[in-house]
Amino acid sequence: MPIIHSQAVIAETRQFRIESLELEFSSGQFRQYERLARNGTSGAVLVVPMLNRDTVLLVREYAAGLHRYELGLPKGKIDAGENNLNAANRELKEEVGYGARRLRHLHTVSLAPAYLEHTIDIILAEDLYPEKLAGDEPEELEVIPWSIYDIDKLMATGECSEARSIAALYLAAAFLDKN
């Protein structure tokens, strides 16, 4: 593991913190790295809500990074005092209008680990029941039922490009096939 000789915040917003790291590797080489660090969060969850054995509920949500609407899975930050399963159920209620009686952690994934200090817990939500909580979205999210076994067709629409959602759908489909 490289030795961190210095670590400094070089920019910060309400959502992001950019850090500069001066590292020394086992070879004796020094390098300066920059990373997008966590900004006081306890992590995040990505929920795979199964309406029934074959049907996943997707949401159509504005994606500012691409300036378009994307189909994907409900997701959000883990609030202080919450565990990942409680956060997943809350996000599900806020974004989809359902709660889940069964929640299972499938996997934790990272996104661009070379420069992002970010992981997200993939949570499978089953045995859903209607319950809506007020969320922080600026507009009501459209909920789209989709066959979890038609992931290739979903990707072919061009409306779902987020790698985390795609990975989570494949992981959930494989898990459901085995169980």
Domain range summary for the chain, segments of one domain joined by +: 3-37, 44-178
pLDDT of 42 above 80: no
C-alpha distances out from residue 178 to 28, 171, 175, Å:
47, 11, 5
Rounded to 5°, angle at Cα 102 from 38 and 127? 125
At residue 135, does pLDDT exceed 90? no
- The percent of residues above 90 in pLDDT, for the chain, comes to 77
| pLDDT above 80 (res 39) | no
Q: Would you tell me how many other CB atoms lie within 10 Å of the CB of residue 141?
A: 18
For 3, 12, 70, 77, 115, the CA distances from 59, given in Å and listed in that order, are 42, 30, 8, 17, 28
Write the burial class of residue 53 (CB in 10 Å: 0-12 exposed, 13-18 middle, 19+ buried): exposed
Provide mean pLDDT across the span 142-159. Answer: 96
Would you say 106 and 122 are in contact if contact means Cβ atoms under 8 Å apart?
A: yes
Report the first-to-last Cα separation within the chain, whole angstroms.
38
pLDDT at 137: 84
User: Is 29 a residue whose pLDDT tops 90?
Assistant: yes
What pLDDT, in 10s, does the model give residues 54-78?
999 999 999 988 999 999 999 999 9
Are the C-beta atoms of 103 and 85 separated by less than 8 Å? yes
Q: Which amino acid is at 84?
A: N
* pTM of this structure: 0.89
Pairing of strands 44-49, 119-130: parallel
Confidence label for 41 from pLDDT (cuts 50, 70 and 90): low
Report the CATH fold assignment for 44-178: Nucleoside Triphosphate Pyrophosphohydrolase (3.90.79)
